[in-house]
Structure 1
């Protein structure tokens, strides 16, 4: 191989490696007392249940959500930005409790197992898509609190975008804030 051709091949190989590294999703941010929910305008840390954060290419800080379901809804709404670099949700398998879901136990929403139709309401009193890092933890939660387990790509759009989620919560669901 001629030196010029070898150099060009090496340069392409190195540039390809840089491109892959540049496309890696950014790490999640720790939840702080300053985080305000995108749709509710309330302090995210002051409410129980799973949370969400979406990181866009255009912003340095994440967009915070008081519920995991709201973070997923953000990705489905046509009027919201589409330059999404990462979607993180609380890993409820590692949460200290429902009331204190944790500040740093985030998982990539696209790899999570979600429990839908459980008896646990979100922080906003609506149905929740409760995220877990393992299928076993999600199944155990579903056995205890009802519901069924789905992956991110299988989440029903009508469940996630249901504006009447509070009215659609299972009839035996505890009120928001109540801990079993």
Structure 2
């Protein structure tokens, strides 16, 4: 027995209405204010350059803010979260004026195009995933700063969840090994001689 065409139309209408309710229920991005602090670092976000992230949790009145997009994506992928994530927003660098994006340019993280592996560091001095709403803007950024374009789903977990050593500006970390080797050599000479 075939379903009645009116029943099919009614079912489609109900499904569309349910879809609209889900979309309407999603929180809108929150503007950055002087009270906004990074979830991990507890530092004022407006004092840090580069793109930011915000994660909205079910039942929570305000989002968790992140000083770097990489940190927001890492939070999203960690299995031990206590609340359901309703939506993640990241700074839309296509709408930003330079590397200091300001307070109100946001895009859903799942809809952004990311430049991964560029020479630009995020607000906490670590490698950053730079989000764009516009592919041409992302390509222009990659041409200037390096990196490749990827969708959020193409960013691997190991690129997000692996710790990154952040050295002070100008420190390459090479001196530590050379200094250790030199001290070890001198100690060996003193013991042998």
Which range, TM-score by smaller chain? 0.7 to 0.9
Partner of 2:80: 79
Q: Distance in 2 between matches of 1:111 and 1:165?
A: 29
Pair 1:69 & 2:66 matched = no
Equivalences, count:
161
Equivalent residue number for residue 119 of structure 1: 119
Contact between 1:38 and 1:63, CA under 8 Å: does it hold in 2?
A: yes
Q: Distance in 1 between matches of 2:136 and 2:156?
A: 21
Q: Please state how far the C-alpha of 1:33 moved relative to its aligned partner.
A: 0.9
The answer as to whether partners of 2:58 and 2:83 remain within 8 angstroms in 1 is no
Q: Which runs of 4+ in 1 moved over 6 A?
A: none
Task: Mark the runs of 5 or more structure 1 residues left unpaired by the alignment.
Answer: 1-5, 173-180
CA distance in 1, matches of 2:82, 2:106: 22
Q: Which has the higher contact order (CA 8 A, sep 6+)?
A: 1
**Aligned pairs (5 A) from 1:1-180:** 16-24=15-23, 25-81=26-82, 83-98=84-99, 100-164=100-164, 166=166
CA displacement at 1:162 relative to structure 2: 1.9
TM-score (normalizing by structure 1): 0.81
Contact 1:127–1:165 (8 Å) recurs in 2: no
Report SS of the residue matched to 2:121.
Answer: coil
In the superposition, the TM-score normalised over structure 2's length comes to: 0.75
Question: Could you say which structure has the larger radius of gyration?
Answer: 2
CA RMSD of the aligned region, Å? 2.2
Name stretches of at least 5 consecutive residues in structure 2 with no aligned partner.
Answer: 1-5, 173-193
